[in-house]
Structure 1
Amino acid sequence: MTEAAQPHVDPTSPDSESPRSHEHSRRPRASDPPPAEYVDLDGGSGRDVFYRPDRYLRADLGLVRVNVEVSLDGERRSCELFDVSQNGIAFEWSGEQVPALGAEVERLTVQFDDHEAYAGLAKVSSVRHVGAITLVGVSLLDTLMNIEDVLHLRDVKAWVAGSKGEKLRAREAAWFVPGLHAFKAAVSELRLFLEDGQAQLAELEASLPSHILQAQGSPAKDALVQRMREGFSAELVSFSNQVDAATREASRSEWDALREFSQRQLHPLLMQSPWMHRARHKPLGYPGDFELMNGLYGNHFSGATLFARAVNLAFVSTPAAEAVRTRKDLMKRELGKALDLAAPERPVRILSIAAGPAQEVYEVLREREELEGHVEIVLFEQDRRALSFAYARLSRLVKDRWAGRVKVTLLHDSIKRLLLGSTVFPASGEYDMVYACGLCDYLQRSTWVKLCRTLYGTVAPQGTLYVGNMVPRNPSRWFMELHLDWTLVYREHEELLELARAAAPGARLLLCEEATGVNPFVALTRD
């Protein structure tokens, strides 16, 4: 738009400028730092030193409706807005007689939605021809137009029409799900319980000497841990089980809303537990890493505050966490039985798949009193850091107690290569015990069968393959999926047996339960 104070410019002239919208020229880049002081502000340069009101194209006004009424020479007509500023507008002229420069517009009315921004006299200040369109620019004579109000109206309408505006409606919120009142009540009550516990434990912590929480073997600390275990942490585990039971009423399609609801209520409180925080953020890049497993085997009372320690103690006491420890004990017993078969004439061979920290191997070798023969143990693991951890403590233990009788071999290879065949293992086909505790929960059916078939091929006559898989009733499932982004492929007993038959049709099958019943194993024995 050309303002009244400026001379008419022929749009066909090489010096004429195409109409520009201030919306595309005035916005600073997001990366530009804000000025720190008034004296740091940049002024205009060149022609921009002379201030002109910003102008806005029709497209810059977005969803705002615009109505321009022009009364000229006794004739009133509606025109399409081209651009607008504080002191003038330009519009498309549809009449045959083009207004003359300097002609007075008897009445100009400009309306944005239901807001009348200007009604009064105007003066023709420019006439331009852009292709087949005639643009008439007029200056406002009675008053300036409050263009900022129009821009605010535009922004509000854009927000209301966009997705953000929809979120103000409860039914459009990410956390909304109809019904499921038991889940919502359980989560809300858990939040109140945690908030109360945080306040009360902070008060208790402030009253304790600073060394109590760090001391080892302190009677005061032992009493505190026992009190937390039997009181706050036990209550928290009970609340957790109630929330999980309530999620069973939801369909899988509703779990995204449950996740948003639960995280909004509980996430900052739960993430104060170091174990929960690590499980959520997966610093080694995968769920259930060996350090996370170590956090289930020991150092349960850890955290930055007494509240964090109590929450940590609770969540490493939940059913899935307990199942990890009891499945370790189950495999330890089976390892003990295998070691009982050791004889001078033939070594016992054991293979652990996705061995992690190999806690069960470490414990059985540490607690064992004697061995009648030689033992060869192979630990297969994709994570080199897990093998490093297992090697550091097993090598010392073997050297100190079982030198010459126990040999530990560590294999750093991938499950993908393992699926190609069993040739990666030394003494393939001669292992008395092969086991995979926490791997098959992540595999789809076809991969489960293929891996199981490969592993069964490594088993010696009378040897057994143990494959573990958590069951759907896992009471820790709600926080694993909603807060830790930790999803397993759960299987009932019947499916475990079905898959095992498909993998090894000639095997003798037996279901083995650890103490919690959350993480059963199927045992495949080669007769």
Structure 2
Amino acid sequence: MSKSYENLPGASGKAKFFRPSRYEAAEIFSGRPPKLVFEDETFDLDNISARGAGCISRKRQDDNPYAAPGSKGVLRLTQSGRELFLGAARKARHMAGPGGISAGFELEENNFDLDWLIRENASILARVDKTRAEAPQPSTEYKTFCADASAFIGGYLQRIQQFVAPIEPTIGENERNEIARDLANSAEAEWLDILQEGNALTAAIHADKQQRIGYKTYTERTVTQMLLAGPGWARCLFKPAGYPGDYKIMNYGYEQKPEGERVAEKFLHLLGMIASRAIITRMEMVATLIADHALRQTDSGKRELSITSVGCGPARELEDLLEATPDNVTWRVTLVDQEPAALDYAFDRVAGLKDRDRISLTGLNISFREMLRPTPENAAFANNDVIYSSGFVDYLNPLLAQRFVKRLYDFVRPGGKVIVGNVNNRATGMIWPLEYITDWSLYFRNEDEMRAMAREIPGAIVSVVPDPMDAVYFLVVEKPVA
């Protein structure tokens, strides 16, 4: 039944003051938004609407101060040196913070034609990428390796096209999944050898930034293009959540199921799952380390343990934790993540567990920066038996990683532990498929670099433990009982 016009609701509160839709610049401009130039000030475009834009500058201009809010001038949008827009604008806001300068601009006369800007930006990028100065070239050995890897993948795709594609319209989803699994099983042994060779070749040059750029560029133009029809590879490369490692990518790795419509897509996706199996062993290993600690605690009569997972993602290790500990052991669990959807997923999954009544669950949707500050919310971390983080410190530089581990250590009670997982830089790891195929940039640490994260914690009992695949290291920092 339709409503009469007098019964249609409007907005309430601040939403009554209509503003044109605002879009994340990185999302609508395919990860390469144009620059915003206001007079002689240059910014990175952060968001945009038809009437204005928000932007960020990581560089301060103390010698040439920024224009004050309210200033009027000429605003330009440029991509790779080419102008996309020019018009009069007013600086609506200007704020200095620890990360740089945040500013907002309102157009005075014209509007941004967003559809045209998106198309023209894409067109410039496509043309510039063909003519821009070439990145440093990798070694002949590496180029040969990429050719061999591409030929290996292409051989399977050719067979799928020749023998499977003609019958694909006549078979169902289950049959397509089964064929894709059979093909992936057939490819597995040789594919694992290729992954190890890629890890070894790239680990040897990874510390050299210029060489790393050249190797990554070459890999993305060759091997990556062969794999992108696989949903997992595409999600890792394009990062629709705005960052790598979102909970859906993690679930791909945990579930190891075919994804996609066609057999070719499913097969390529499963190659990615073979490359990411360390996600499973990492999850199983952290559950084992926590369970072992819990069993030692229960031997002394303790029956309830408090644990916190930082950067929890889907938190699937909780299932293994319940299975590995006696029925009379209960858990107070705090899950911390910057992604609300990850917390939603984790809470829903825990709610469906058989032993759900053994877990008391709390969720915190806070950022890394908030964790390092002494805020009231951080009281939830105090006096934990174990605080762990399986895949978060991989993104932190050495100084921040030390601060992070020290902060977690301060929160655990005497006799408690901090457990931190980090991908390693060995041939048995994931450096090539992550960093070079999908531009998933991490700190791939060796054992000495793992120990360095606890260097500023006097008196701690420190050990480094590998996962069964020798792809991930775990730093275990125990606080002695006083």
**TM-score normalized with structure 1 length:** 0.61
2:221 to 261, 264, 268: 264
For the 8 Å contact 2:308–2:381, the answer to whether it is kept is no
Paired with 2:217 and 2:347, the residues of 1 have a C-alpha distance of 42
Q: How far is the alpha carbon of 1:480 from its aligned partner?
A: 2.2
* Structure 1 counterpart of 2:134: 174
**Aligned CA distance change for structure 1 residues 317 and 345 (closer, same or farther; 3 Å):** closer
Paired with 1:213 and 1:332, the residues of 2 have a C-alpha distance of 38
For the 8 Å contact 2:181–2:270, the answer to whether it is kept is no
For the 8 Å contact 2:313–2:337, the answer to whether it is kept is yes
* Structure 2 counterpart of 1:90: none
1:236 to 168, 191, 197: 191
Structure whose alpha-carbon radius of gyration is higher = 1
Partner SS for 2:321:
helix
* Structure 1 counterpart of 2:52: none
Percent identity (aligned)? 23
For the 8 Å contact 1:344–1:373, the answer to whether it is kept is no
- Report how many aligned residue pairs link the two structures: 349
Aligned ranges for residues 276-291 of structure 1 at < 5 Å? 276-291=233-248
**Aligned CA distance change for structure 1 residues 440 and 387 (closer, same or farther; 3 Å):** same
For the 8 Å contact 1:212–1:221, the answer to whether it is kept is no
2:165 to 194, 202, 206: 206
Structure 1 unaligned blocks of 5 or more: 1-163
Q: How far is the alpha carbon of 1:373 from its aligned partner?
A: 4.1
**Aligned CA distance change for structure 1 residues 206 and 372 (closer, same or farther; 3 Å):** same
Structure 2 unaligned blocks of 5 or more: 1-126
Paired with 1:379 and 1:497, the residues of 2 have a C-alpha distance of 25
**Aligned CA distance change for structure 1 residues 248 and 181 (closer, same or farther; 3 Å):** farther
2:400 to 429, 441, 447: 447
**Aligned CA distance change for structure 1 residues 257 and 211 (closer, same or farther; 3 Å):** same
Aligned ranges for residues 48-447 of structure 1 at < 5 Å? 174=134, 177=137, 180-206=139-165, 208=167, 210=169, 214-215=173-174, 222=178, 224=179, 227-248=182-203, 250=205, 251-318=208-275, 321-340=276-295, 341=297, 347-365=304-322, 367=323, 370-397=326-353, 400-403=354-357, 405-421=358-374, 423-426=376-379, 428-447=381-400
* Structure 2 counterpart of 1:487: 441
Partner SS for 2:243:
coil
Output the amino acid matched with 2:441.
T
**Aligned CA distance change for structure 1 residues 478 and 351 (closer, same or farther; 3 Å):** same
Paired with 1:173 and 1:189, the residues of 2 have a C-alpha distance of 26
Question: Which segments of structure 1 move beyond 6 Å, counting only runs of 4 or more?
Answer: none
Q: How far is the alpha carbon of 1:255 from its aligned partner?
A: 2.8
Paired with 2:397 and 2:202, the residues of 1 have a C-alpha distance of 24
For the 8 Å contact 2:291–2:325, the answer to whether it is kept is no
Paired with 1:260 and 1:278, the residues of 2 have a C-alpha distance of 18
**Aligned CA distance change for structure 1 residues 453 and 213 (closer, same or farther; 3 Å):** farther
* Structure 2 counterpart of 1:48: none
For the 8 Å contact 1:344–1:372, the answer to whether it is kept is no
For the 8 Å contact 1:437–1:467, the answer to whether it is kept is yes
* Structure 1 counterpart of 2:468: 515
Q: Which moved more, 1:188-197 or 1:508-517?
A: 188-197
* Structure 1 counterpart of 2:414: 461
Q: How far is the alpha carbon of 1:392 from its aligned partner?
A: 0.9
Paired with 1:211 and 1:390, the residues of 2 have a C-alpha distance of 38
Q: How far is the alpha carbon of 1:304 from its aligned partner?
A: 2.7
**Aligned CA distance change for structure 1 residues 505 and 383 (closer, same or farther; 3 Å):** same
Partner SS for 1:500:
coil
For the 8 Å contact 2:259–2:265, the answer to whether it is kept is yes
* Structure 1 counterpart of 2:5: none
For the 8 Å contact 1:233–1:311, the answer to whether it is kept is no
Paired with 2:287 and 2:168, the residues of 1 have a C-alpha distance of 40
Q: How far is the alpha carbon of 1:326 from its aligned partner?
A: 0.8
Output the amino acid matched with 1:520.
Y
Partner SS for 2:443:
coil
| Deviations 1:348-385 (CA, angstroms, capped at 9, x unpaired) | 111111000001013333x3574224321111111101
Paired with 2:395 and 2:325, the residues of 1 have a C-alpha distance of 36
Q: How far is the alpha carbon of 1:261 from its aligned partner?
A: 2.5
For the 8 Å contact 2:150–2:223, the answer to whether it is kept is yes
| Deviations 1:407-440 (CA, angstroms, capped at 9, x unpaired) | 0111111110101137524554321111011011
Aligned ranges for residues 500-511 of structure 1 at < 5 Å? 500-502=454-456, 504-511=457-464
**TM-score normalized with structure 2 length:** 0.66
**Aligned CA distance change for structure 1 residues 516 and 213 (closer, same or farther; 3 Å):** farther
* Structure 1 counterpart of 2:452: 498
Output the amino acid matched with 1:471.
N
